[in-house]
Amino acid sequence: MSGESSVSEGTNVEGEAPVVEPTVETDDATITDESELERTLGLTGGLAIGIGTMIGAGIFVFPGLAAGRAGPAAAVSFSIGAVVALLVALPTSELATAMPKSGGGYYFISRGLGTLAGAVVGLSLWFGLVFATAFYLVGFGYYAVDTLAELGIAVGEGLVIPIALLFGAGFTVLNVTGTENAAKLQNGVVALLLSILIVFLGYGGLESVGLVGDPAAPERFAPFGAMPVFTTAALVFTSYLGFAQVATVAGEMKDPGRNLPLAMVGSVLIVGVLYVVTIFVATSAFGSETLSGFGETAMVEVGRDYLGPIGAFAIVFGGLLATMSSANASVLSTSRAIYAVSRDALLPRRASRINLRYGTPHTALGMAGGPILVLTATGRVELLAEVASFLHLIMYGLICVALIALRRNEPEWYDPDFRVPGYPVVPALGAISSFALIGFMQPASLYVGTGIMIATAGWYAYYARDVTLKGQL
């Protein structure tokens, strides 16, 4: 070990330094100056967080869009996304057990690669989550309009964006009034959602293979060739963005060296299987071309085909819950990303102020909610999803690079409970596959994502170039 010492020096242009928060870890708790987190989460709890965060809008919004691009081979696209997520999950697990702090990927990269990389990733993560939340809200708007139509109230797609904006503002206010309220809503929604999905996919799967009803007519597996399979994988990777959330509770997990990697890998595998089965069931009900024509709410017509009006209503209600769940969780995550970079003096300290009445970072929530509503107003579903994927893939690739950098020159404080098997092959493949997937995105997404990264680097150069974060804080 090289013995790199703890570093906290330098200030931003306002004279603010990073907030140092020493951490003491025991078998029973993770203790900081501000809190004591008891280790109460087991493997089941970790799996619930990972699955609950990932099962959301993607499974209801993407099938029609993905089938239109890649045909039944869209199932392979979802599998590619799962493989990339797995390659990143293991390095993330090691870093999380070495640095059990809130902030997730941003924290690992800023401490492993330094302030510039940390600033670009931390600020880009803010915008990446903003794009993802706007994508979820537009999907929510479509499902809200379809729910009203199933109830006999036809309002037309002209209300999709107004409904999305109204609920986006509502979720922001809900999160300001307390994390506990938002968490209760999240847990209830995920439990109901999983029940609907398991029943629907179970019946649809049996009918697809001919065990119930008539077997599906065969369709060419990859009607558009191999390339669309990869471009579709880049689009639908948004579906896996939540797996790294498990790492943020490393300090509250029992036996983190065992349970954290199992929870991250297990949740990616379970959700990946659900996505693949969903595409199989959807493309078995209709041909890819017909499914694509149904657009963002194609799954409603799939539900109607298998189970009649009850199936259509169950799916439209499930889609409403899923998009609501994803949007609400993302508003919360966006505000916490802003809170983390503000505590490190990469944004003004006032961005991390806590509301004295509700105990929530109300300024950060405002900085999350405002841009989300602006992007939601554009209604560009595919562009929003791809830019969100772009910015997250940059972060995942750099997480793997940060692990390699720390392992090559291990500081004294680096003592993870879990170490990646197959090092350095696994993190190297994780970095390469994350960056490679970006190459299959449409030019507009690449331009927007690259523009955001350049802007964040410029902000660092102006505002926080004297701040040093590399090392343990």
Confidence of residue 2 (pLDDT cuts 50, 70, 90): very low
* Cβ-contact 330, 132 below 8 angstroms: yes
pLDDT of 4 reads 40
pTM of the model: 0.85
Tens of pLDDT, residues 8-55: 568 888 888 887 766 666 666 666 655 555 677 788 877 877 787 787
Q: What is the pLDDT of residues 229-266, one digit of tens each?
A: 999 999 898 888 878 777 766 767 788 888 888 988 99
Rounded CA-CA distance 106/346 in Å is 12
Residue 5 has pLDDT above 50, yes or no: no
Q: Write down the pLDDT at residue 186.
A: 63
What is the Cα–Cα distance from 397 to 409, expressed in whole angstroms? 19
In this predicted model, which residue has the larger pLDDT, 463 or 150? 463
Encode pLDDT of 351-401 as tens digits.
Answer: 877 777 777 778 888 888 889 999 999 988 889 989 998 999 999 999 999
pLDDT higher than 50, residue 3: no
Write the Ramachandran bin of 410: left for phi over 0, alpha for psi from -120 to 50, otherwise beta.
beta
Cα separations in angstroms, 370 against 117, 150, 169, 364: 26, 32, 8, 10
Instruction: For residues 165-183, give the mean pLDDT.
Output: 77
pLDDT at 126: 87
pLDDT at 7: 47
Distance CA 94, CA 403 (A): 8
Each residue's pLDDT tens digit, 293-328: 888 888 889 889 888 888 888 888 888 888 887 787
* 376 in Cβ contact with 400 (< 8 Å): no
**Ranges of H-type helices in 151-178:** 160-176
Between 99 and 183, name the one with better pLDDT.
99
Q: Work out the percent of the chain whose per-residue pLDDT is above 90.
A: 30
Which range (113-117, 145-149, 213-217, 348-352) has the least confidence?
A: 213-217
Q: Say which residues have a Cβ less than 8 Å from residue 191's Cβ, sequence separation at least 6.
A: none
Tell me the backbone φ, ψ of residue 253, rounded to 5 degrees: -100, 135
Residues 6+ apart with CB under 8 A from 467: 10, 11, 12, 17, 18, 115, 344, 345, 346
User: Whole-angstrom distance between the N-terminal and C-terminal Cα of the chain?
Assistant: 18
Asked if residue 473 has pLDDT above 60, the reply is no
Q: What is the pLDDT of residue 146?
A: 87
Average pLDDT, the chain: 84
pLDDT for the residue numbered 15: 85
Cα pseudo-dihedral 233, 456, 370, 248, rounded to 10: 60
pLDDT digits (tens, 9 = 90+) for 442-466: 999 999 999 999 999 999 999 999 9
Percentage of the chain lying above the pLDDT 70 cut: 89
